[in-house]
C-alpha cells in the first residue's frame, strides 16, 4: 500500500518541475518586438514637401491658346535661395492642361543686370532684388503681342517652325505671342498653333 500511495505523489512532483516552454517562447518574442521599436526622434528634420522650397511665384491670366478663355502663365522659383534656384515657366490652358513648360536657371534671369550696373560689381542683395524684379515683370503686358505674326513677317530660312503652323498663324489676327528674355540677349517668342495643336517658337522679336 505504501508504494502505491507514493507513485501518484512522484508523478505530481515531476509535473510541477517541468518548464512551461510555451510561456517562455511568448515572453521572448514580446521582448524582441519591444527592442525593435525606436523612440520618436523629435529632433529629426521633417521631410521636404513638394512646395516647401518655393521661393517666389508670379502668375498672370492672358488669352493665348484659346481666344475665348485665358490661360494661366506662371513662373515659379524653387531652391535654397533666389540666386541659385531654378525657375519653372509654364502655360496652362483653361482645362488645366499644361501646354508649355520650360526650366530657367536663376542666372538666366540675372544675366541682363550687367546692362544696368553702374559699378563693376553688385552685392548679393542687389542681385537678388534684380532677379525678383525680373520675375515681377516677366509677364508684363508689353511682352504679349497680337497678332502673333504680322503680314510683313517672312518665313525663317532655318525651318525652325513647321510651314503649316506658320501659314496658319498668318491667317489668324487673333493669335497671341509671348516674348521673354533669357540670359543677356536671348529673346524668345512663343505662340499657340491651332493647326499643330501645340506651342511653337517664333523667330526673332517683333516679326
Q: What is the pLDDT of residues 82-91, one digit of tens each?
A: 999 999 999 9
Q: Please give the Cα distance from 48 to 80 (Å, whole number).
A: 12
pLDDT at 15: 46
Enumerate residue ranges in the chain where pLDDT < 70. Answer: 1-51, 204-207
Residue 59 neighbours by CB under 8 Å, 6+ apart: 72, 73, 74, 75, 139
The pLDDT value given to residue 158: 83
Are 76 and 142 in contact, with CB atoms under 8 Å apart? no
Write down the pLDDT at residue 204.
Answer: 67
Q: Cα–Cα distances in Å, from 37 out to 30, 40, 49, 69, 123?
A: 11, 9, 26, 56, 51
According to the model, what pLDDT value does residue 12 have? 44
Alpha-carbon distance 130 to 109, whole Å? 8
- CA pair distance 201, 177, nearest whole angstrom: 9
Question: If 0-12 CB within 10 Å is exposed, 13-18 middle and 19+ buried, where does residue 16 land?
Answer: exposed
pLDDT at 205: 56
pLDDT tens-digit readout, 108-140: 999 999 999 999 999 999 999 999 999 999 999
pLDDT confidence of residue 191? 97
Amino acid at each position: 500500500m505504501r508504494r502505491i500511495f507514493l507513485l501518484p505523489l512522484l508523478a505530481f512532483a515531476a509535473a510541477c518541475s517541468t518548464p512551461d516552454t510555451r510561456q517562455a517562447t511568448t515572453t521572448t518574442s514580446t521582448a524582441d518586438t519591444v527592442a525593435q521599436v525606436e523612440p520618436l526622434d523629435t529632433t529629426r528634420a521633417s521631410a521636404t514637401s513638394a512646395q516647401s522650397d518655393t521661393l517666389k511665384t508670379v502668375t498672370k491670366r492672358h488669352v493665348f491658346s484659346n481666344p475665348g478663355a485665358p490661360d494661366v502663365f506662371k513662373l515659379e522659383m524653387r531652391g535654397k535661395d533666389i540666386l541659385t534656384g531654378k525657375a519653372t515657366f509654364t502655360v496652362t490652358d483653361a482645362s488645366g492642361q499644361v501646354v508649355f513648360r520650360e526650366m530657367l536657371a536663376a542666372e538666366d534671369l540675372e544675366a541682363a543686370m550687367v546692362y544696368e550696373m553702374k559699378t563693376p560689381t553688385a552685392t548679393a542683395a542687389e542681385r537678388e532684388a534684380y532677379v525678383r524684379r525680373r520675375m515681377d515683370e516677366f509677364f508684363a503686358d508689353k511682352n504679349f503681342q497680337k497678332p502673333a505674326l504680322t503680314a510683313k513677317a517672312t518665313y525663317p530660312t532655318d525651318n525652325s517652325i513647321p510651314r503649316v503652323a506658320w501659314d496658319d498663324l498668318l491667317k489668324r489676327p487673333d493669335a497671341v505671342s509671348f516674348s521673354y528674355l533669357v540670359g543677356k540677349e536671348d529673346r524668345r517668342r512663343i505662340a499657340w498653333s491651332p493647326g499643330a495643336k501645340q506651342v511653337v517658337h517664333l523667330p526673332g522679336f517683333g516679326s
